[in-house]
Structure 1
Amino acid sequence: MEGFDELKQKILTSVKTKAKYEVIKNLTRWLSEDKVFGDLTSHLLGLDYLSRSGKIIFFSKTKQDFLLAGADFLQEIFNRSAKPYSQNLKLYFKQYKKDGDMVKYKEKIFEVWSNNIGFLLSLERLCLNLIIRLSAIATETRRLVDAVSRFGVHILATRKTTPGLRFLEKYAVCVGGGLPYRLDLSSGVMIKDNHIKAFGGMKNLLSFFEKLEDEKLRRFLRKGITIEVQSKKELSYALKIAKIFKDKGINFSDDILYQRCFIIMLDNFDHRDAKLLLKKIRDFSSSEGIKVFIELSGGIRPHNVGLFARIRPDAISTSYITFSPSFFPDISADIFLD
């Protein structure tokens, strides 16, 4: 079986491939949004003539160290954006920092030279916006990962991401040492509160799984299942469902990194109640011989993540790392003419 570090690297590489494809897929729209090929300022000043050559250097202006993410896509963005330009357009690159590196104040990140300085100027903001946002997510994720790692707890992202940037933001989480969790709705079954309400409650859900034919159940659960619970009563039903899965011969992974797990998500409990319910789940798991992973979610932030990590769930999921990270690095770009 693969080691922990090897498997996390494999997950990172897989999500990075998806993120790169997302860049390629969205680039035309991004260029159109900023009217990159209609830069009035460069046209007015004549900066888009091929006789004007020089380079842009991206660097840190923030005094707080941050974790870099997104820089590995910059060369792809410049090369693909150059295709509509003259065949005489030339580009040369130098990458000082790669994704996953810590960046200090005034350190250089990326450099690009061109014989058309206007072309570089037109792409400056697009590139800065991307690496600033992804670096913010990666840095925030690392902050949480560092806070919980000694307790053996994983940090999970959620699907609360910017539309069109799902894989890029999940990639940034992975750069920060977190796990992407579900990339989309097809990545596994997750039964949340609204599903339970729509189905008529946990009692109906239990009855459904009891009656569902084994082969169909096995097919739908091959990528794992998460059941959200918001009360002690709902937890009792969730544990009964786990027993049904065992009796039907459904096998889940013993390692949360493989994402083929049975997970119970304790949502919006305070740490005292979460601790009691966690013990109940652990006792059930031990007595029944069923591996149940425990995820805590809801209102967990840097100020209280340690409190929840100390009760040692398997994972903590939080949406704020992708939705509203607290720190955005100040990354700038300086131009140098030949």
Structure 2
Amino acid sequence: MLPFNGSCFSPPSFLLIGIPGLETLHIWISIPFCSMYIITILGNGSILFVIKTEPSLHEPMFYFLAMLATIDLVLSTSTMPKLLSIFWFRYREIGFHACLLQMFVVHFFSTIESGIFLAMALDRYIAICHPLRHKTILTNAIVAKIGLAATIRGVVYISPLILLVRQYGYYRTHVIPHSYCEHMAVVLLVCGDLTVSSLYGLTVGFLVLLVDSLFIVLSYIMILRAVLKLASADARLKTFSTCVSHVCAILAFYVPIAASSLTHRFGHNVSPYIHILMANFYLLVPPMLNPIVYGVRTKRIRHRVLKMLRRGPSQSCEAGEGQCKGLLRA
């Protein structure tokens, strides 16, 4: 460690506290956290498997859902194994560069997820407002380009955030009062002027959360106008019901992350453990709920899962029956 100005130093690693103020309850807290993580892995893994193996689900809505499931798996896995090691084994140390990597992964994939939700809102808008042109507008190539654009936007937005943190060489302490390397939790330990990092973090939050959510709201306003023009109440209800799962997933994502961001920046009188719990909830709860919401609300996924559960291993192939026989002969 290199001393700087008598009280600051350059740490080779950091120590994550976990949930400050609730250290004595870490073992008990780990039970729901671990349970949610297991549900997240099983749920999103099942969604990916069903979409991959069912040819009828190879269309834009389900491609976006597959992207969402992949992002949720990465987001939860980027923090939960380390958090559980803190809870169970008190292994709090994380290397400096590993901390920066975790910070990048969390914020990068959160940014991509917001972009995918926006893309899914666009898909619902085209499907309802321009149904005859849906397949010609949202082709597989366009879906791939949208996913690539969301990824590039994440790199452009988040890379400077990490580079700004990396340029700070000296810290007041190497103890991070958090359960993972969240941006502001690390920046607040820095010796030096934090104005640029704080302003850039606020700007990215504004561009991602407010702008994306604004366009999503506008999409649903136009969807609602189109639905209200339908002749019968049954048609209106049936059409809008196709959006319910997406709306639930959006609320599960944006509400916790917005509450966490606002509380972290402006809730100075809120207990530290509330900050940490909220920050963990937005990385755990949406990834856990998304496959449940889409599995229950999306009829085609629900029927496919139920069909898989009802039949035996020997009947696991439907469209690829010849391939199954070939495997059995091998």
**TM-score exceeds 0.5:** no
Q: Which has the greater radius of gyration?
A: 1
Q: Which has the higher relative contact order, 1 or 2, with Cα contacts under 8 A spaced 6 or more apart?
A: 2
TM range (shorter): under 0.3
Q: TM-score, normalised by structure 2?
A: 0.21
Q: Which has the higher helix share?
A: 2
Q: Which has the higher strand share?
A: 1
